[in-house]
Amino acid sequence: MSSQLSIQGVSRVFTSPKGQATQALTPVNFEVRENDFVTILGPSGCGKSTLLRIVAGLDQPTTGQVLLDGVPVQGPGADRGMVFQSYTLFPWLTVEQNIRFGLRERGMPEHEQKERSDDFIAKVGLRGFEQHFPKQLSGGMQQRTAIARALANDPKILLMDEPFGALDNQTRVLMQELLLGIWESAQKTVLFVTHDIDEAIFMANRVAVFSARPGRIKTELAVDFPHPRHYTIKTSPEFMALKAQLTEEIRAEAMATDRH
């Protein structure tokens, strides 16, 4: 299967106001196929979020390019849906209005907006909360709304930057299973940044491990657990073996970061 997302020689150097250069990414080459669920795992500050922002069009590479379905990414676009760790809902809009925002901006007819928002409200388990404002919702409910908003726009690829990082462990597990269930039915391409090893394995069909800064993709591992997945697979010998392997990879990179 050909790649849907192609990251070609992408590097990023940040320059301070005083002219000091910091290399966040060394040239990264990476391919993501249609309907892949790829997690990017690595130590803090290694450049994973920088790469995701470049794919989203929120930042520009110093060298290289990103292609989505063969078309160069020049800036943000409706073909990429982004979900951040922080809750990025519009506080003055209700759950339903937040989910319909992108659809309204695109000029979709009112009845289609309503139909689509109702569908995703049901998918993320927010029926009965349509008219609530973000401040009236728990963190998990806010992230459900953000995921529904991103998916309602029908992007080609969903980009997720530690979307469950601020949630308590119980809510996090529920959100992981919810997102996997939606992915299994909607068959979206997902690029998901995390520093949680269990999460990286549980969610993905492929894990890409980043090196210490300046970041590059050091290792790729296939994850072959069948779907639908349940959190109980985390206690299986196969899961534990993958976790041990990835823990050692990350430990080596974290030690390299400390030496820098």
User: In whole angstroms, what is the distance from residue 190 CA to residue 33 CA?
Assistant: 10
Query: What local confidence, expressed as pLDDT, does residue 45 receive?
Result: 81
> 88 falls in which pLDDT band (50, 70, 90)?
confident
Catalogue all structural domains in the chain, each as residue range(s) with its CATH number.
Answer: 3-79+157-259 (3.40.50.300), 92-154 (no CATH)
> 256 falls in which pLDDT band (50, 70, 90)?
low
pLDDT digits (tens, 9 = 90+) for 131-140: 999 999 998 8
pLDDT digits (tens, 9 = 90+) for 203-240: 999 999 998 888 889 999 999 999 888 888 999 999 99
Query: What local confidence, expressed as pLDDT, does residue 4 receive?
Result: 92
Give Cα 104 distance to the centre of its chain: 24
Average pLDDT over residues 174-188: 87
User: In whole angstroms, what is the distance from residue 241 CA to residue 221 CA?
Assistant: 12
Q: Is the pLDDT of residue 164 over 80?
A: yes
Please check whether residue 41 is in contact with residue 209, taking contact to mean a CB–CB distance below 8 angstroms: yes
Q: Is the pLDDT of residue 180 over 70?
A: yes
Identify the sign of the CA torsion 186, 175, 164, 245.
negative
Average pLDDT over residues 7-17: 94
User: In whole angstroms, what is the distance from residue 117 CA to residue 74 CA?
Assistant: 29
> 86 falls in which pLDDT band (50, 70, 90)?
confident
Q: Which two tokens stand for residue 109?
A: 């007819």
Report the length, in residues, of the chain.
260
Query: What local confidence, expressed as pLDDT, does residue 214 receive?
Result: 86
Q: What percent of the chain has pLDDT over 90?
A: 64
Tell me how far CA of residue 244 lies from CA of 3, 24, 157, 236, 249, in angstroms. 29, 27, 30, 12, 9
